[in-house]
Copies of this chain bind each other. A is one copy, B any other.
Amino acid sequence: MAVMNMVQAINLALREEMERDESVVCLGEDVGVDGGVFRVTEGLFERFGKERVIDTPLAESSIVGTAIGMAMNGLRPVAEIQFLGFIYPAYQQFVSHAARMRNRTRGRLTVPMVVRAPYGAGVKALEHHSESTEAIFCHIPGLKVVVPATPLEAKGLLTASIRDPDPVIFLEPTRSYRLLKEEVPEGEYVVPLGQARKVREGKDVTIVGWGAMLPIIQKAVESLEKEGISPEVLDMRTLAPMDYSSVVSSVKRTGRCVVVHEAPRNLGLGAEISARVMEGALLSLQAPVERVTAPDITVPLPKGENYYYISPERVVNGVKRAMSF
């Protein structure tokens, strides 16, 4: 088993799925000769050729629209959008087509497509390169949204996404791309979509997060533990359709819940999780669900990013508010 970072794990999943299934093709801006701006598709062009690793013109709507057409006609495209902040031109293709092709054809035509995109703040990036707008996809019935937190998870979740019969938006936290290495198996390794992962058992409070929030939550947990607080940590990993029942049953035991995300607070996923927890566990709740999120402002440029992004301290503060309500 090789030790690898998330970029390598994603690359491995792509390579193995392409080897396993001829109908898997990659497309996007700079995914071919260049190997992707984050090197995620490195080596695939050389291995599988330009018919299967397609450098496309610079046009997101058409990248996604073309992938939809490919998927309707028997391929399993894995499209890359260079950053989540550039996916918006393709939004119509997701909402009006990918999400409802199955429904509109009563199951005759389907869209087994994956659209990958790096996302999230904290890497000192340019404007528009730090967005966390997962909510705008999670709100649309018919779309699946997946975010891996570690290299191993990335491999298993991407493999499942490529094999999934429905459209999956696979968001890769740029901050985690090279943060951590771990053992990732070659060959079959699948993490089923739709199930949260219990990262850590605990009894005082349930901390819910995903993607790049997990290492931050981890740090927070370390200092919380020192103060005698025992948090349970859930990695949601599939953001839509979300495994709300795991959250609810955890909160029923702990009595407290803190959701951590980097998207703006208003209508971020924390809102829905909060609502579901109340609906499912009001009588167990000893404090309102705490939301540790970005404020409702545009992501600042790098020098101001500390005003925006989530730090372990802010998670600790949130947990303490929940504990002392």
Contacts and interface: CB of A to CB of B under 8 A. Distances in A.
A95 B90 CA distance: 13
Contacts of A271: 267, 271-272, 274-275
B275 A282 contact: no
A139 B133 contact: yes
A163 interface: no
A288 to B, nearest CB: 5
Contacts of A272: 266-267, 271
A269 B135 CA distance: 12
Interface of chain A, main secondary structure? mixed
B100 A298 contact: yes
A135 B267 contact: yes
A289 B266 contact: no
> Which residue, of A61, A91, A103, has the highest number of chain B Cβ atoms within 10 A?
A91
Contacts of A282: 285, 287-288, 325
Contacts of A297: 103, 141
A209 interface: no
A287 B282 CA distance: 8
Nearest to A279: B288
A55 B267 CA distance: 35
Contacts of A103: 297-298
Interface in A102-152: 103-104, 127-128, 133, 135-136, 138-142
B275 A141 contact: no
A79 interface: no
A127 B104 contact: yes
A38 interface: no
Interface string A81-104: 000010011011001100110011
A88 to B, nearest CB: 4
A268 to B, nearest CB: 7
Nearest to A99: B298
A40 to B, nearest CB: 23
Nearest to A95: B88
> Which residue, of A85, A266, A272, A288, has the highest number of chain B Cβ atoms within 10 A?
A266
Interface string A292-314: 00001110000000000000000
Given A88-B96, A266-B240, A274-B271, A298 B142 contact: yes
Nearest to A94: B88
A231 interface: no
A270 interface: yes
Counting from the closest, the 3 A-B pairs by CB-CB distance are A88-B92, A274-B275, A139-B267
Given A89-B92, A135-B139, 15 more contacts: A85-B96, A91-B91, A91-B92, A96-B128, A135-B135, A136-B139, A139-B266, A141-B264, A141-B297, A267-B267, A267-B271, A274-B274, A275-B289, A278-B278, A282-B287
Interface of A: 61, 85, 88-89, 91-92, 95-96, 99-100, 103-104, 127-128, 133, 135-136, 138-142, 240-242, 263-264, 266-272, 274-275, 278-279, 282, 285, 287-289, 291, 296-298, 325
